[in-house]
Structures are given as C-alpha cells and as structure tokens.
Amino acid sequence: MNVGVVVFPGSNCDRDVVWVTQGLLNQPTRMIWHEDSDLSDIDVVIVPGGFSYGDYLRCGAIARFSPVMQATIKHAEQGKLVLGICNGFQVLTEAGLLPGALVRNRDLHFVCDRVPLKVERTDLPWTNYYRTEEVITLPIAHGEGSYYADANTLKSLEENGQVLFRYCNAEGKSDQSSNPNGSLNHIAGICNRQGNVLGMMPHPERASDPSLGGVDGMRLFEGMLGAIAAIL
Ligand SMILES: NC(=O)CC[C@H](N)C(=O)O
C-alpha cells in the first residue's frame, strides 16, 4: 500500500501518521508537500491533523485551495481512498469531498480528551476490522470539531449509512453527557456516498502504538491495508 501523507504549513500530526503506516505497518509512505500535485503513485491519501496555514479564516478554508487538494479531489473521483483526520476532516468538508461543516465546539473551548465512540458500520475498508456497534476509545484534540449539516443533509447521511463513528458513553449510548463538542447526531466521522472518502475528528494515529496507551485506532489502518491488498 503506497501511502501519501499531505503536509501543509501548520500540519502537526503528519509524522504521527507516517509512524503508523511506515514505522508500525511497514508500508511505503511519502510525505506530500501542499504544492505538489502528482499523486499517481499513491493508493491512499491521508490529510492529517494540525493547523493548516494557521487555520486562519476558518479551519481548512485556505488549505482547500492548495494544489495537493485539487489532486486529492481527482484521486477521490477515481474511487481511490482518502482519509482526513481532524484538521484533515475539516479540509475535506471545505474541499467539498464530504458534506457539512465543522464549527466551533459547543463550549467554545479546545477539547483534548480520550472519548468512547461507536463504530456504526463495518462493511467498508475503514472499519471492516471492527465489530458493528463496537465501542472504541480514541483521542480527540480540536477547537472546531462540532459537526453541522442542514436537516436534509443529515437525514441523507443517516439513511445512506454514511455515519461511521458516533460519540457515545462507555455503554455505547449517545446521550447528552457523551457529546464532547456538540456535534449534531453525535457525529464523529462520516464517509461520502461511495465510501472511499472518510473524515473523522478523533485521532486513530494517536491510538495505534501500544506505548501511547491504546491501540483502538490501529484496525482502521489495517482495514485500509487489507482493502488495498485485495485490489492490487
Ligand atoms: N488536532 C487538530 O487537527 C486540530 C484541528 C483544528 N485546528 C481545530 O482546532 O479544530
């Protein structure tokens, strides 16, 4: 699996992703500077977390205009895999690859925590190493992670099974007390209609190396790897 990890000025989780895909999973991984636009050798594009271009104006609003994002849109249109984590999720919504928007957290604070999530669907590359309705724990760290979409978009996301991860409590229930940022429908991660583009606010790359205190994120990368191996 050839992995491309996008690097914007201000990205700060790019090396964490490289550590997982190259360091732990031994997959060839290339960092892609935001001015590059040749992704022809890449199977999976990962847009990592951080503060792209300082996240001025709005998180991801400037990054979407970069040459690498124009190339990433083409990559996605070919049905290839694209993963956006945290700031990457924000960039993917700004770029129009995913519906809705990430707005300021409900309490207007940056939230840094480890939270339970329910895996809603397991028939896609991203989640097929998890059990349906499995409750996993992943770190979150964001100031603008509250998922918002208009009522029609929200309805179609739910009807089409595009919500892959939902904030919940330890028992898997999504109630008032288990929504760290005020996301509508407790949404933590969604895919596009085709399922090849995933955006999520939690950080699977920070929960893949056992020395960091949790490995619930690793199966997402392993699922990706399994899907690419099946195609190649
Ligand atoms: N960890 C991140 O990627 C943070 C994303 C973004 N800068 C925010 O604060 O919401």
Which CATH number does the domain housing residue 125 bear? Answer: 3.40.50.880
Question: CA-to-CA distance for 196 and 219, rounded, in angstroms?
Answer: 17
Tokens in use for 41? 């050798």
Query: Among this protein's residues, is 59 annotated catalytic?
Result: no
Question: DSSP secondary structure string, 131-163?
Answer: -TT-EEEEEEEESS-EEE--HHHHHHHHHTT-E
Nearest to 4 by CA among 35, 36, 45, 38: 45
Backbone angles phi, psi at 94, to 5 degrees: -60, -35
Q: How many independent structural domains does the chain possess?
A: 1
Residue type, 39: L
pLDDT value of residue 229: 82
Query: Among this protein's residues, is 13 annotated catalytic?
Result: no
pLDDT value of residue 44: 97
Backbone angles phi, psi at 140, to 5 degrees: -125, 150
* Ligand 1 pocket: which of 142, 181, 183 to mutate (most atoms within 8 A of CB): 142
Residues 6+ apart with CB under 8 A from 68: 6, 32, 33, 34, 35, 36, 37, 39
State which residues form the domain around 38: 3-231
- From atom 5 of ligand 1, which residue's Cα is the shortest distance away? 87
Among 31-35, 132-136, 219-223, 227-231, name the one with the lowest average pLDDT. 227-231
Does 91 score more than 70 pLDDT?
Answer: yes
Tokens in use for 20? 């997982």
Cα 130 to the center of its chain, rounded Å: 16
Ligand 1 center to 86 CA (angstroms): 6
Cα 92 to the center of its chain, rounded Å: 9
pLDDT in tens, 18-53: 999 999 999 999 999 999 999 999 999 999 999 999
pLDDT in tens, 141-155: 999 999 999 999 999
pLDDT in tens, 190-224: 999 999 999 999 999 999 999 998 999 999 999 99
- From atom 3 of ligand 1, which residue's Cα is the shortest distance away? 49
Q: Which of 86, 120, 142, 168 is catalytic?
A: 86
For ligand 1, is residue 181 a contact (CB within 6 Å)?
A: no
Does 74 score more than 80 pLDDT?
Answer: yes
For ligand 1, is residue 87 a contact (CB within 6 Å)?
A: yes
Question: CA-to-CA distance for 146 and 105, rounded, in angstroms?
Answer: 5
Query: Among this protein's residues, is 203 annotated catalytic?
Result: yes
Ligand 1, closest atom to CA 48?
A: 3
What pTM was computed for the model?
0.97
Mean pLDDT of 78-92: 97
pLDDT confidence of 232, banded at 50, 70, 90?
A: low
Query: DSSP E strands: which ranges in the chain?
Result: 3-7, 29-33, 44-47, 81-85, 101-103, 111-119, 135-142, 146-148, 163-167, 187-191, 197-200
Q: b/e per residue, 29-48, with b = 16+ CB within 10 A? A: bebbebebeebeebbbbbbb
167, 188 in Cβ contact below 8 A? yes
